[in-house]
Amino acid sequence: MPETSPPAIELRSIDKSFGAVRANRDVSLQVARGSITGIIGENGAGKSTLMSILYGLYEADSGEIYVDGRRVRIRSPRDAIASGIGMVHQHFMLIDTFTVLENVVLGAEAGPVLRPSLAAARRELDRLGRDYGLRVDPDAIVGTLPVSEQQRVEILKVLYRGARILILDEPSAVLTPQETEQLFRILQALRARGATVILITHKLREIMAVTDMVHVMRHGQVVAERRTAETSSAELAELMVGRKVRLALDKTAPQAGTPVLRARSIGLRDSRGVRLLDGIDLDLRAGEIVGIAGVSGNGQSELLEVLAGIRAPSDGSLAIGERVIDAAHPADPAEMRALGLAHVPEDRHRYAMVAPFAANETAILGYHNEAPFSGTCLLHHRAMVGHCAELMDGYDVRPRQPALRSSSFSGGNQQKLILAREIATRPRILLVGQPTRGVDIGAIEFIHRQLVAARDAGCAILVVSVELDEVMALADRILVMFGGRIVGEVAGDAADERTLGLMMANVWKPGET
Amino acid sequence: MSRQPLPPWVDIGLIPIVNVLLAFVVVGLIVLAVGVNPFTAVRIMVTGAVGYPEAIGYTLYYTTNFIFTGLAVALAFHAGLFNIGGEGQAYIGGLGVGLVLLAFDSSLPALPLMALAVLAAAVFGAAWAAVPAWLQAWRGSHIVITTIMFNFIAAAVMVYLMVNVLIAPGSMSPESREIAASGHLPFVHELLAMAGITMGQSPLNLSIVWAALCCVFVWVFLWHTPWGFELRTMGHNPSAAIYAGVDIRRMTVLAMCLSGALAGFVGVNEIMGVHHRLILNFTAGYGFAGIAVALMGRNHPVGIVLASLLFGMLQQGGAELSFEIPAITREMVVVIQGLIILFCGALANLTKPAFERLFAVLRTRSTRAQASAAEA
Amino acid sequence: MKTLTRSGLCGIAAACIAGIAQAADIKPAVVFDMGGKFDKSFNEGVNNGVERFKAETRMTVAEFEVTNETQFEQAHRRFAQRGQDPILGVGFTQANAVEKVAKEFPKIRFTVIDGVVKLPNVQSVLFKEHEGSFLVGVLAALASRSGKVGFVGGMDIPLIRRFACGYEQGVKYANPKAELLQNMTGTTPAAWNDPGRGAELAKGQFERGADVIYAAAGATGIGVYQAAKDRGKLAIGVDSNQNHLHPGTMLTSMVKRVDVVAYDTFKLAMGGTWTPGVTVLGLKDGGVDWALDKNNAALVTPEMKARVEAAKADIIAGKITVHDYMSNNACAY
């Protein structure tokens, strides 16, 4: 990196407020041409806002943006693309029923007639595939491709539009460890060809693995800038949260008791008859944490839904105490709650909260018919607010405002409130999906400790997470799911990342070599 | 440019007033185009709506209907259901009122008779809404389609009954016989006359009190009962409702039944309050207007009351306008009403960015002035 | 025909001519029905009469078109309060409103068309639509080659069934073996103003073999007449003389002289010879009739004309009694 060439991106004093919240405060940073630069920070630190400003999704309140040393005004993604900036979003912006080629060309057609655009795009895709190792069948229907290849299509789309600067927002969230490795090789190939990559992530491991430089953001500001080679995970973690954190969890050996939930040969088919779950056997014992590892979409979500009573199993049965639940005798979530089962869903926005509701309303969701919140026919507002304030105190939910809209809380605080709600009922069984998805490091630690405390109090806990680190840190037993089946079981302290990763990809089973 | 939030008095005070003024400017231009002095037109419209006791009576009479149908749409909307069937539910609710009054007006004293009629309005309206709700909950038929269909079915049922069954013997037109006086809800001008206050005749009757009670009921139900909690949960996030143990199907039916019952109360106002006999077409589009009322009132009872007042004023003021100035036809009145609703409702945020810019500039200036003052 | 009608209608009043001599200062007003004054049919007929009165006398006539039923009473009362006199209410739906307001203002004269209000200051004017419909029914049966004739009604209410029933009797009178196809456009007031649906119903009846259709459906009839023209079949107009709409395919029109009623109401009031009471206008009085003019002269053979005129004479003479549906709400004759 010769000092004479201007940086690919330079941001000067970027400020951005949303109402009273200052999402970015006087942010200045430089990204060298031909580098992979990481931006790391807790949720709500302002990483995504900053990148949205760079990509033209928001306009900064003040500050300047320079691309290759020239000042530019970016008011829309169109401006960003014209300046050579492209973005790969966390949620893919692809049309499932179109082919790869059509998706790449969409929005960048060369004229009113499609055929010449497609022919040119086919040649260009071929070249990009050779140059960067980004090989995808241009005629495949996008919806039929695995997630990792869809991500490649997203990257191809950006390159096809002539981007020299790529922004990737949490790209590994949907990938297996092996697929993540592959992605990193692609990023390195891009760098070798002179492209500039900005990687937004909250995973320290990835920063350490692939970046040249790293900027740490906290509370809307850039608090540190390090050459990756000269820093460590521990230092970055400390910079992110502003204090030392333990990534590993101290926990005692489990005192596993009797099984409180027994699942036998649980199967689930969707309306078209596709098998989503197949022959699941599972015992949950009081006082243990069972972790489920697996790449998203291998049946973990469906398993949680069946156990929580949201969907009835098509085959097999589920026993909680005397109650046996099967296809002919389903139980709804309300009955499950009455049986002592609490559920922190994977997708909290979809299931666990109602965005426009006040926090105190979200804090009784599912328990709204119970005393002291509900009398014979009226809700007791004071009891609701008091209960919510208690939960907020106990779980350090900020801001401590029971009347605030649920959606106004950050992801981590929403999750803490939901966890507080479910644990507060002292359940016999607790199902937790993605306990720390979108939660910052400080809160992760807190949530993990709460789960272990609940376990120690005798609760049977099932944790489903796509974060291997998390499953390994929490679980006393780890079950690996693939294709709707449980493909392996590993004791928590005997698990290692590589073995689990291979099991998750169903290429290795315990006992094989 | 910083987009600071506007002060509340601007957001809920100044901007709506500016919107109404803007609407009147556009209306004025149109009125001018047909050669009428726009100031005269506005004056007639305003005095026609609120200028004298009878006018206020008419305005509030219309308001009553709009409150019922507005609440009906809003309640269903909170459950995530788009009830387009207010018209039909009001029609059938009125049928219920009429049947009860015709059957018992000679045998029951006034108070139980009226209570029974109000109950009938609720039951008939609810029943008419329950069928589309059931079809949506158990059969997946889209409620927008089915409620629209049920409007037509309601009209056909009413015509059949009025023409063939309920028509007063020897009557020229399809109307029932007149209901006995014990089944007449007292007019407000009659009550005032008893208190020694004279007010010109208007169709305003005690239904408006019932409408006010319904507003309170809807508010309490939605925000202060567990059922309302479940209903709103379902409306905002059906998945979360399932998670919370809400029976979506039963809640769909419950929400639609309440919605239909509210719409059915239009029948109380029209049949028991005003016409005192079953007639055809007494719903006159109130059910559809309820959609606009609910949207404009942001689905909140207070907003619905305000929106209903505006709609009532437009209805009465508009009628007065075409009454006084023949050059302004009733079609033009509809255009004028539409423009005012457009500016106050759909384009409510039209002027907001301009105000935001204006206030940002004002703020910067005052900050600079303070800074220079401090330096000095 | 006009002279015929005029002389017939003069029967309502004692003496028109004498009245005009001592013209009083009146402030006439008219309240139109929901259809509006440009409905090409019933209300428009009234409006034509009002316009003729305005043109002849250079007086202004206050007018109002309602948008809902509650406004009938409001409009009549507001006119009465302003001292408008006489006030003309158009359509049966206004009868109740006129009754209420007329009681409150006994000094003001009201006329209501198509409805009956028995008060000393109200004149009610009814028409024997069934008699006129009988005549066009006779004509339809005679003109039909297929032996099938059609009827398209507007909103399904007793008044329209009266049209249908009279028509049916006329058809059967001329050809007992004739088949009659009947459709009502709808059950809401929208049925008065739906030409598209009218055309559809007419096409349906033509498909089923009908070759003459009588439309008593307000503006919906426009679609029926158009469909008849497109297919080269015959149609019969209603209320106003609609023969001119499609010369060559409009067999005739059943005219109902509401324009004359409107004109006469004001004219008689002006002359001080307006009288209350119920007036029923039939063939005898020229209140209803069939229309023959240059537009349909080619379609009506001398034999047809003779048969129709004979039937008309028989009705007037009382040799034929046309059953009125509204007398017992049934079409049994």
Residue B156, Cβ density class (10 Å: 0-12 exposed, 13-18 middle, ≥19 buried): middle
Q: What percent of chain C has pLDDT over 90?
A: 69
The reply to whether C241 and C114 lie within a common domain is: no
Give the DSSP letter string of B214-225.
Answer: HHHHHHHHHHHS
Query: Where does the pLDDT of residue A243 fall: very low under 50, low under 70, confident under 90, or very high at 90 and above?
Result: low
CA distance C134 to C174: 10
- Which of B280, B323, B333 has the CB atom closest to C78's CB atom? B323
CA distance C249 to C67: 35
The reply to whether C104 and C38 lie within a common domain is: yes
Q: Do B326 and C62 touch (CB under 8 A)?
A: yes
Does a structural domain hold residue C68? yes
CA distance C243 to C246: 7
Q: Do B275 and C95 touch (CB under 8 A)?
A: no
Does a structural domain hold residue C37? yes
Q: Do B155 and C95 touch (CB under 8 A)?
A: no
Kindly state the tokens that stand for A450: 């709460």
- Residue whose pair of structure tokens reads 């119920």 in the numeric block: C278
B→C contacts (Cβ < 8 Å), by residue, are 58, 61, 152, 155-156, 158-160, 163-164, 167, 171-175, 201, 203, 270, 274-275, 277, 279-282, 284-285, 319, 322-323, 326, 329-330, 333-334
**B–A touching, 3+ CB–CB pairs within 8 Å:** yes
- Residue A260 clears pLDDT 80, i.e. is over it: yes
Q: Do C67 and B282 touch (CB under 8 A)?
A: no
Query: Where does the pLDDT of residue A149 fall: very low under 50, low under 70, confident under 90, or very high at 90 and above?
Result: confident
Kindly state the tokens that stand for A358: 């006040």
pLDDT for residue C269: 92
Q: Angle at Cα A16 formed by Cα A14 and Cα A21, nearest 5°?
A: 140
Q: Do B175 and C71 touch (CB under 8 A)?
A: no
The reply to whether C242 and C271 lie within a common domain is: no
- Residue C17 clears pLDDT 60, i.e. is over it: no
**CATH class for the domain made up of B54-326:** mainly alpha
pLDDT for residue B349: 72
Query: Where does the pLDDT of residue A106 fall: very low under 50, low under 70, confident under 90, or very high at 90 and above?
Result: confident
**Highest mean pLDDT range out of A1-15, B225-239, C89-103?**
B225-239
Query: Where does the pLDDT of residue A21 fall: very low under 50, low under 70, confident under 90, or very high at 90 and above?
Result: low
Q: Do B240 and A343 touch (CB under 8 A)?
A: no
The reply to whether C48 and C29 lie within a common domain is: yes
Kindly state the tokens that stand for B42: 């506005």
Does a structural domain hold residue C333? no
> Which domain CATH number covers C267?
3.40.50.2300
Phi-psi region of A293 (alpha: psi -120 to 50; beta: other; left: phi over 0): beta
- Which of B225, B229, B245 has the CB atom closest to A361's CB atom? B229
A471: closest CA of chain B, how far (Å): 24
Contact B77, B224 (CB under 8 A): no
| C171-188 average pLDDT score | 92
- Which of B61, B155, B270 has the CB atom closest to C188's CB atom? B155
Domain that holds residue C8: 2-128+257-281
Residue A337, Cβ density class (10 Å: 0-12 exposed, 13-18 middle, ≥19 buried): buried
**Segments of chain A assigned to CATH 3.40.50.300:** 9-241, 256-340+430-506
Residues of chain B neighbouring A353 (CB-CB closer than 8 A):
237, 240
| A374 secondary structure, DSSP code | B
CA distance C236 to B143: 42
Kindly state the tokens that stand for B35: 């050669």
- Length reported for chain C: 333
At A311-351, the pLDDT tens digits run 999 999 999 989 999 999 999 999 999 999 999 998 888 89
CA distance B17 to C77: 34
**Highest mean pLDDT range out of A99-113, A444-458, B244-258, B340-354?**
B244-258
B66: closest CA of chain A, how far (Å): 27
- Which of B158, B172, B280 has the CB atom closest to C116's CB atom? B172
Phi-psi region of C49 (alpha: psi -120 to 50; beta: other; left: phi over 0): alpha
For chain C, the farthest-separated pair of C-alpha atoms sits apart, in whole angstroms, at 59
Nearest to A413 by CA among A40, A44, A23, A39: A44
The CATH code of the domain at A256-340+430-506 is 3.40.50.300
Q: Order across the sheet with A275-285: list the strands.
A: A275-285, A259-269, A315-320, A323-326
- Residue A513 clears pLDDT 50, i.e. is over it: no
Task: Give the number of domains in chain C.
Answer: 2
The reply to whether C313 and C166 lie within a common domain is: yes
Q: Helix B86-104 vs helix B110-139: angle between axes, to the nearest 10 degrees?
A: 140
Q: Do B240 and A365 touch (CB under 8 A)?
A: yes
What separation in angstroms does the CA of B53 have from each of B38, B188, B200, C102? 24, 11, 6, 22
pLDDT for residue A20: 61
Q: Do B281 and C115 touch (CB under 8 A)?
A: no
Q: What percent of chain A has pLDDT over 70?
A: 93
DSSP reduced 3-state for C332: coil
Q: Do C158 and B319 touch (CB under 8 A)?
A: no
Beta-carbon pairs below 8 A across chains A and B: 70
Kindly state the tokens that stand for A379: 């809700």
Q: What backbone phi and psi angles, to 5 degrees, belong to C139?
A: -65, -40
Contact B179, B277 (CB under 8 A): yes
**What's the gap between Cα B176 and its chain centre?**
27
CA distance B103 to B120: 12
Q: Do C96 and B175 touch (CB under 8 A)?
A: yes
Single-letter amino acid code for the residue at A118: L
Query: Where does the pLDDT of residue C38 fall: very low under 50, low under 70, confident under 90, or very high at 90 and above?
Result: confident
Kindly state the tokens that stand for A469: 């680190």
- Which of C77, C96, C155 has the CB atom closest to B201's CB atom? C77
CB of B235 less than 8 A from some CB of A: no
- Residue A354 clears pLDDT 80, i.e. is over it: yes
- Residue B375 clears pLDDT 80, i.e. is over it: no
pLDDT for residue B350: 75
Does a structural domain hold residue C50? yes
Half-sphere exposure of residue C178: CA atoms within 13 angstroms, side-chain side: 29
CA distance C76 to C33: 12
Q: Order across the sheet with C148-155: list the strands.
A: C179-186, C148-155, C212-216, C234-239, C250-256, C288-290
- Residue C92 clears pLDDT 50, i.e. is over it: yes
Chains near B with 3+ CB pairs less than 8 A apart are A, C
Nearest to B85 by CA among B161, B142, B159: B142
pLDDT for residue B2: 40
pLDDT for residue A437: 76
Single-letter amino acid code for the residue at A101: L
- Residue whose pair of structure tokens reads 């009469």 in the numeric block: C49
pLDDT for residue A504: 75
Q: Order across the sheet with A460-464: list the strands.
A: A341-344, A429-433, A460-464, A289-293, A477-482, A485-491
- Residue A232 clears pLDDT 50, i.e. is over it: yes
Residues of chain C neighbouring B158 (CB-CB closer than 8 A):
187
Domain positions in chain B? 1-36+327-376, 54-326
The reply to whether C172 and C306 lie within a common domain is: yes
Instruction: Spell out the alpha helix ranges (H) of A273-327.
Output: 300-308
DSSP reduced 3-state for A488: strand
A102-116, A491-505, B3-17, range with the lowest pLDDT: B3-17
- Residue whose pair of structure tokens reads 């980004």 in the numeric block: A134
Query: Where does the pLDDT of residue A191 fall: very low under 50, low under 70, confident under 90, or very high at 90 and above?
Result: very high
Chains near A with 3+ CB pairs less than 8 A apart are B
B1 CB contacts (<8 Å, ≥6 apart)? A61, B357, B360
At B274-290, the pLDDT tens digits run 999 999 889 988 999 99
pLDDT for residue A124: 87
pLDDT for residue A111: 67
Q: Helix B53-78 vs helix B207-224: angle between axes, to the nearest 10 degrees?
A: 30
Nearest to B236 by CA among A475, C285, A361: A361
Instruction: Name the closest residue on chain B to residue C189, using Cα atoms.
Output: B281
Residues of chain C neighbouring B184 (CB-CB closer than 8 A):
none
Query: Where does the pLDDT of residue C4 fall: very low under 50, low under 70, confident under 90, or very high at 90 and above?
Result: very low
The pLDDT mean for chain A works out to 86
The reply to whether C110 and C24 lie within a common domain is: yes
- Which of B225, B230, B239 has the CB atom closest to A351's CB atom? B239
| A7 secondary structure, DSSP code | P
pLDDT for residue B12: 66
C256 pairs with which residues across the strands? C288
The reply to whether C11 and C154 lie within a common domain is: no
CB of B226 less than 8 A from some CB of A: yes
| A413-423 average pLDDT score | 92
Give the DSSP letter string of B45-61.
Answer: HHHHHHTSHHHHHHHHH
Instruction: Name the closest residue on chain B to residue C82, using Cα atoms.
Output: B324
- Residue C11 clears pLDDT 50, i.e. is over it: no
3-state percent helix, strand, coil for chain A, nearest multiple of 5: 35, 25, 40
Instruction: Name the closest residue on chain B to residue A337, using Cα atoms.
Output: B245
Contact A163, A83 (CB under 8 A): no
Q: Do B279 and C159 touch (CB under 8 A)?
A: no
Predicted model pTM: 0.78
The reply to whether C265 and C136 lie within a common domain is: no
Q: What percent of chain B has pLDDT over 70?
A: 94
Instruction: Name the closest residue on chain A to residue B2, using Cα atoms.
Output: A61
Helices (H), strands (E): how many in chain B?
Answer: 17, 0
Nearest to B64 by CA among B260, B359, B312: B312
The reply to whether C180 and C271 lie within a common domain is: no
CATH topology of domain A9-241: Rossmann fold (3.40.50)
- Residue C34 clears pLDDT 90, i.e. is over it: no
Pairing relationship of beta strands A70-72 and A85-88 according to DSSP bridges: unpaired
CA distance B317 to B189: 20
What separation in angstroms does the CA of B305 have from each of A81, A220, B144, C70? 49, 44, 25, 21
Q: Which position has the higher pLDDT, C126 or C2?
A: C126
At A433-472, the pLDDT tens digits run 988 876 777 788 889 999 999 999 999 999 998 777 788 8
